[in-house]
Amino acid sequence: QVQLVQSGAEVKKPGASVRVSCKASGYTFTNYYMHWVRQAPGQGLEWMGIINPSDGRTTYAQKFQARVTMTRDTSTSTVYLDLIYLRSEDTAVYYCASPIAAAGGGFDNWGQGTLVTVSS
């Protein structure tokens, strides 16, 4: 079955950077785009960007353009989210999600989420 397994929780200081990983299994990794979505405590869902695992091409939300990088490693079926210059407002749960079986782009598979806490 499809699984997206994310790396563990992180605690970072303001100004630092963080890397979150998402390892995919149970399907052909390069056939489906991967998205990153975050959710600050008590807040809604915020789309961050998308990566095509086949060629590595990315599109980022304007808000994160200067601070985010999404990459992939096809040998391990893993995508990575790097966020730099962290600030307290980046404290959130970060999810990877992929539209695999649902037509029209609905995210039918999600990772379990990675809590990133930014605090001095």
Partner 1 sequence: DIQMTQSPSSLSAAVGDRVAITCRASQTISIYLNWYQQKPGKAPKLLIYAASNLQGGVPSRFSGSGSGTDFTLTISSLQPEDFATYYCQQSHSTPRTFGQGTKVEIK
- Binding residues for partner 1, rule: CB under 8 A, are 35, 37, 44-47, 50, 59, 61-62, 95, 97, 99, 101-108, 110-113
Long-range contacts of 63-71 (CB under 8 A, 24+ apart): 70/34, 70/36
Closest approach, Cβ 13 to partner 1, in A, equals 25
Closest approach, Cβ 30 to partner 1, in A, equals 20
CB 47, CB 61: distance < 8 Å = yes
Distance of CA 113 to the CA centre of its chain: 9
Q: Which is nearer to partner 1, 16 or 102 (CB)?
A: 102
Closest approach, Cβ 11 to partner 1, in A, equals 18
Distance of CA 83 to the CA centre of its chain: 10
